[in-house]
Amino acid sequence: MLERLSWKRLAGELFLFCLPALIIGIFFGHFGWLLFASLLVALGWNYYNQLKLSHWLWLDRSITPPNGRWSWEPLFYGLNQMQMRNRRRRRELGQLIKRFRSGAESLPDAVVLATEEGNIFWCNGLAQDLLGFRWPEDNGQHIFNLLRYPEFRAWVQAREFDRALNLQLNNDHYVEFRVMPYSEGQLLMVARDVTQMRQLEGARRNFFANVSHELRTPLTVLQGYLEMMEDEKLEEPFRSKALDTMQEQTRRMDGLVKQLLTLSRIEAATNIDLNERVDMPLMLGMLEREVQTLSSGRHDIVFRVNDKLQVFGNEDQLRSAVSNLVYNSVNHTPSGTRVEVSWQQTPLGAQFQVSDNGPGIEPQHLPRLTERFYRVDKARSRQTGGSGLGLAIVKHALSHHNAKLDIISEVGTGTRFMFTLPQRLIVPAGHSSGVRVRHPE
């Protein structure tokens, strides 16, 4: 292990250069000239090593320094050690930067690093997707050239970083910006996409507004009749009509509350057991009797059910899904309409269909049918007791079974509601399936 250069070592090396001159001068004289020659040799030796060092620093591409002798050996060795330390530090710094960038890429927020003047020098992938940055093309660009929003410019220039800035971008995303000092002369900007949060907040407001609106009408009717009964004695037949109306509005509120509870229960059931065996043919047999009673002969109802086709899933949710689809077809189609219910196995899985040859639904309504409280014909829905929650219940129940509700409709031709449960949810059968067709006489 070499030691660092010291005065003693330099003095010893100089003495070694001068020793031959001293010995020769004792025997032959001319000591001064010999000493001068020894000093020139020592100076030339040092100049030679300086040239080697300069050539290695500026021209040589090798990593290791040249070999040195005597006093130059610890210098070259020290330079080599310093270079190795620097390389190690650069590797550690590179790994640290790599870990930081990897962590920043994993964040659910857009991250932008910029100077205090506003010139960006790094951003993660989400910043490119959410804010429209291009990397590395935008390296060095001023952030005001990339985010051209007056509110953002005013917020940054005012240095009001103790509060967040909420801004709607041109891509219709709502973004929350936060800026904080990162290091000396640098700023860290974090942008969070709050679009879904805003949508959920809007949905919550709309939900309460819709519930209030749905309950206001029956409550107003009940309050009006109760006030009339309190002020004066009602005579027949007005008294019977008032009681019938109040009972009807009470049933309507009761049905709305039940559907709200059903929807809430289905939405809250995030982890349902899909290993429960559901006897769909038995369920549809009971549903057929119920819907025949509901129709009272006003519709031509046909059930085509595969008696052997059972599935795994949540029985309550599947019952809510199929019953809402069938009840909707009967309640919202005029008398004389043909309603067909099908439960069959297909190459894609277990398929359920409800189709009718009623008036159909206009195309602009189809994307919104599964929204809460959405009705195609609000007046008719209130007459039939519809709350606008049935298809929302179907949508959420099917999502728990990895299925999706498909709606096909053509004005003047009819409507078809269908969903397909995946093959893995079908209960294996040991023999061929039979099909029964039930048609009322």
Q: Is the domain of 287 the same as that of 416? A: yes
The b-or-e profile of 146-163 (16+ CB within 10 A means b, else e) is bbebeebeebbeeeebee
Task: State the amino acid at position 14 in one-letter form.
Answer: L
Q: Is residue 2 part of a domain?
A: no
Phi, psi of 422 (to 5 degrees): -65, 160
Q: Is residue 181 part of a domain?
A: yes
- pTM of the prediction? 0.50
Q: Is the domain of 111 the same as that of 86? A: no
Q: Is the domain of 169 the same as that of 136? A: yes
Q: Is residue 100 part of a domain?
A: no
CATH number for 144 = 3.30.450.20
Angstrom CA distances, 274 to 3, 151, 270, 398, stand at: 75, 50, 12, 12
Q: Is the domain of 24 the same as that of 66? A: yes
Token readout for 349 is: 């899985």
Q: Is the domain of 284 the same as that of 431? A: yes
Comparing C-alpha atoms, which of 407, 414, 262, 412 is closest to residue 340? 414
Q: Is the domain of 335 the same as that of 422? A: yes
Q: Is residue 98 part of a domain?
A: no
- Three-state DSSP class for residue 132: coil
Q: Is residue 1 part of a domain?
A: no
Q: Is the domain of 291 the same as that of 431? A: yes
Of 193, 221, 246, the domain-final residue: 193
How many structural domains does the chain have? 4
Token readout for 268 is: 């809250």
Q: Is the domain of 133 the same as that of 167? A: yes
Q: Is the domain of 286 the same as that of 361? A: yes
Q: Is residue 102 part of a domain?
A: no
Residue 97 belongs to what H/E stretch? Answer: helix 72-106
Q: Is the domain of 418 the same as that of 296? A: yes
Rg (C-alpha) for the chain, rounded Å, is 43
The domain of 242 spans: 205-268
Q: Is residue 264 part of a domain?
A: yes
pLDDT (tens digit, 0 to 9) for every residue of the chain, 441 residues total? Answer: 556 666 676 676 776 777 777 777 777 777 677 777 877 877 877 877 778 778 777 777 777 777 767 677 777 777 777 888 888 888 888 887 777 777 667 777 888 889 988 899 888 888 888 888 888 888 889 999 989 899 999 998 888 888 899 888 888 889 999 998 877 888 889 999 888 888 777 666 766 666 666 677 677 777 777 777 766 666 677 777 778 878 877 877 777 777 677 767 766 666 677 788 999 999 999 999 998 988 888 889 999 999 999 999 989 889 989 998 998 888 888 888 999 999 999 999 999 999 999 888 888 888 888 877 776 665 444 444 455 677 888 888 898 888 999 999 988 889 999 999 999 999 986 533 444 444 444
Q: Is the domain of 366 the same as that of 258? A: no
CATH number for 386 = 3.30.565.10
Of 67, 93, 119, the domain-final residue: 93
Q: Is the domain of 209 the same as that of 184? A: no
Q: Is residue 44 part of a domain?
A: yes
